[in-house]
Amino acid sequence: MPDFAALREEMVERQLKRRGIAERALLDAFRAVPRELFVPEAARHAAYDDSPLPIEAGQTVSQPYIAALMIEAAGIGRDDSVLEIGAGSGYAAAVLGRVAGRVVAVERHGELAALARARMEALGYSNVRIVEGDGSGGLPDEAPFAAILVAASGSHVPEALLEQLGLGGVLVMPVGERDAVQRLVKVTRTGEEDYEEEDLGPVRFVPLIGREGWGDGEGAAEALPERLRAAAEPLPELDDPAFAEAFDRFADARVVLLGEASHGTSEFYRARAEISKRLIERHGFTIVAVEADWPDAASVDRHVRHRARRDGEETAFQRFPTWMWRNAEVDAFVGWLRRHNEGRGREAMTGFYGLDLYNLSGSIRAVIDFLEAADPEAAKLARKRYACLAPWSRDPAAYGRHALSEGYGRCEAGAVQMLRDLLQRRMDCLAEECDEWLDAAANARLVRNAEQYYRVMYQGAAESWNLRDTHMFETLCQLLDAKGPASKAIVWAHNSHIGNAAHTEMGQVREELNVGQLAKERFGDAARLIGFGTHGGTVAAADDWDAPMEVKLVRPSLAGSYERLCHETGIARFLLDLRPGALDPALEEALLEPRLERFIGVIYRPETERWSHYAEAVLPNQFDAWAWFDETRAVTPLPGGPPAGAEEETYPFGL
């Protein structure tokens, strides 16, 4: 059982105080209200995460910081009467009940109102009343209020609410379009008809539905699948040449990023393979960069580019999750790539590279092996510098815990200096030595960034995520720079890495960036982001980290999600071009409304799917295109050893 009191205190310190929430009574209120009792039981262990959480009726409860920001901005006193519009689970109302004299919270969903009312009674908040109904027009019979907090966005602040403020009263509400980031505004009543407005910054809220807010849009929702069906381009079977040909429109980009909605779905791997083959054969792409660790991918690269296997080199992809890259679908593509490269000049071969930073021990060994051949004295220095990390190389998370307790990263200086020294040795990348230098430099960068990653992973999810994706993007850029200005790359990674995070809950709520966002910022339209989605079927995944792989049933997509909308078209496979001007304006406007999108990684927990695998996104801004596969199946993991007919001494997946 989690120590909720400790988590609550940590939330107050890290999420509220560090972001500037200073009102003591308010901080004490957040310390006192048990947020775990205001979310469904399956989500309680995440109750104090720095993010919104799903609640009943398909709604969400705001992250604690946003609730605190709104309450502090309202300047509520102990004797004040407060109106909240959008009670949700009742969490914010409970916090308000500890700083205000009287709280009335209106909720339009009957299920939520009943649950919130029961929670108030159980916890003894006698000064908080939950009312079911349309709150967009306020409660004029109970006005005036010293403060009105609106937990839903409107195109403007309703006049009816302003009229219910007492003189000097404050209203806090998100204002903006439904399909865009809104602004949190603070309106203070300074006279009978005078108001002052202050902008508190960007936020994203669900729309305010009601007579003074947005309409419910039910008629438009019913027509949306039909409009999407008309815009979707049906795709043939994956082995039909016309499948990959449909993606030629993106071949003028320098970087094409191909996503996946899970790490264990066969159709996603096979589709990326077919698209990549065409981009390589017809359009001059020579880099395939994947969401895998550099040392493991380097083994595959030596195989596909007919380079000698290194002495003592480990078999690729032996650590959890082995099925993510050791599967029949990747094996088939690796075999094709080796055949494609056979007989070609070095500069015309296509390489296979890893972008991720987890294989710390493999990277340390690779740097030292390179220097043993290039400069034995420098190899001795590398051993000395990396000796600090050696005890932790097999369990780097333990180094992060140790560094946190010490208060500093005692292995950082050596890792940084080793990278600097290697970068100063830059070799002629038109010569064969470039491959070895590039490999060593990438491994040195991995060691430097992994050291930092394992330190910050205990300080916050956003910091560690951002460091990891920045590392992946820097590695991609290093590859492009090394291969010259005409080089072109294909990236295989999860949708969460290649879709532009600035247009998802990741960036707008959790302050996370990703490879797709960084690629768009650097390359603009020369980077094309293609997401993949599915409605149902099976997937290879585990229940937890380091747990056994299972073939799991994928639950049918949730109502209100982009996946359910795609399923309702009735098309088995299609491509949706999302670039500006490609869609009918009415369809584009409808798709710009934020919706849920499913993300399954190597872990899949169907029983908690809504909160653990869905996040809000704006699809046309997140991707340049969307490839849909309505029914999918799990990847086929490889058994131990190389497949029949492979050369055991060179094959990267051999034992």
Instruction: Exactly one of 62, 266, 276, 299 is catalytic; name it.
Output: 62
The H-or-E segment that residue 453 falls in is helix 433-456
Q: Which tokens belong to 84? A: 């909240």
Task: Identify the three-state secondary structure at position 552.
Answer: strand
Identify which of 535, 556, 555 has the alpha carbon closest to the alpha carbon of residue 607.
555
DSSP conformational letter for 493: -
* Residues whose CB falls within 8 Å of the CB of residue 244, separated by 6 or more in sequence, listed in order: 274, 275, 277, 278
Strand partners, 597: 615
Going through 177-298 in order, the beta strands assigned E by DSSP cover 182-189, 195-203, 233-234, 255-258, 287-293
Q: Which tokens belong to 11? A: 């939330």
C-beta of residue 183 within 8 angstroms of C-beta of residue 174: yes
Bridge pairing between strands 128-132 and 102-107? parallel
Q: Which tokens belong to 144? A: 């005036």
Q: Is residue 62 among the annotated active site residues?
A: yes
Phi, psi dihedral angles at 338 (to 5 degrees): -65, -45
Identify which of 147, 160, 46 has the alpha carbon closest to the alpha carbon of residue 102.
147
Distance CA(383)–CA(393), nearest Å, equals 13
Q: Which residue has the tokens 């710009």?
A: 592
Give, in degrees to the nearest 5, the angle at Cα 183 between 32 and 49.
35
The H-or-E segment that residue 194 falls in is none
Which residues are known catalytic residues?
A: 62
